[in-house]
Amino acid sequence: MATNKIHTTNYSNTLIELAEDCPVASSEIPTMKGDKPTVATMQFELISKHPYTLTSDDVIFRIYADKNDLIPSEYEAARTVFFSKGQPCLRTSPLAKRYGFGIHANDEGKIALYGIETEAYQQLLKDENVTKVKAMRSARK
């Protein structure tokens, strides 16, 4: 019997740095579009209110579940199906591409946000034990 591969977007001990073409010099809290939350506002709310308690997979799935009006009893089965295909990781997050936030994953893969203007972000950049990856650019070179 073949087992289905489960993909993950989780990082461990890694800082997702700002994209090279991020337009801001200090972090900005994303705003809603009309009365609808954007992916950026949903990610910001989840991660900023729960630093180092959720993984990247948790955040990405929760936003998918909210957008598709899933109820908690459906989460387990839906999550298995969702991660049976590869999903874009937080390197594609508007928080790191547009809003000036680095995303740090600790040793357990739990994530937190750091504005580029903060001392903590600068410390993570200097830390040789933390892997650095850049967020995806918004525009092609």
HSE-CB of 16 using CA atoms within 13 angstroms: 28
Three-state SS sequence of 9-61? CCCCCEEEECCCCCCCCCCCCCCCECCECCHHHHHHHHHHHCCCCCEHHHHHH
Task: Answer yes or no: is 140 within a domain.
Answer: no
113 contacts: CB under 8 Å, gap ≥ 6:
27, 44, 47, 48, 51, 95, 101, 102, 103, 104
Give the global pTM. 0.92
Task: Return the residue matching tokens 């009365």.
Answer: 35
Task: Answer yes or no: is 5 within a domain.
Answer: no
pLDDT in tens, 50-96: 999 999 999 999 999 999 999 999 999 999 999 999 999 999 999 99
Q: How many domains does the chain have?
A: 1
Task: Answer yes or no: is 7 within a domain.
Answer: no
Whether the CB-CB separation of 95 and 101 falls below 8 Å is answered with yes
Task: Answer yes or no: is 139 within a domain.
Answer: no
| Residue 1 pLDDT grade (very low, low, confident, very high; cuts 50, 70, 90) | very low
Handedness of CA 83, 130, 125, 26 (dihedral sign): positive
Whether the CB-CB separation of 22 and 135 falls below 8 Å is answered with yes
Task: Return the residue matching tokens 């955040």.
Answer: 59
72 vs 35 pLDDT, higher one? 72
**Residue 134: both structure tokens together:** 């850049």
Task: Answer yes or no: is 6 within a domain.
Answer: no
Q: What is the mean pLDDT of residues 11-37?
A: 94
- What integer pLDDT is reported at residue 115 of this predicted model? 98
**Residue 47 lies in domain:** 14-134
- What integer pLDDT is reported at residue 36 of this predicted model? 85
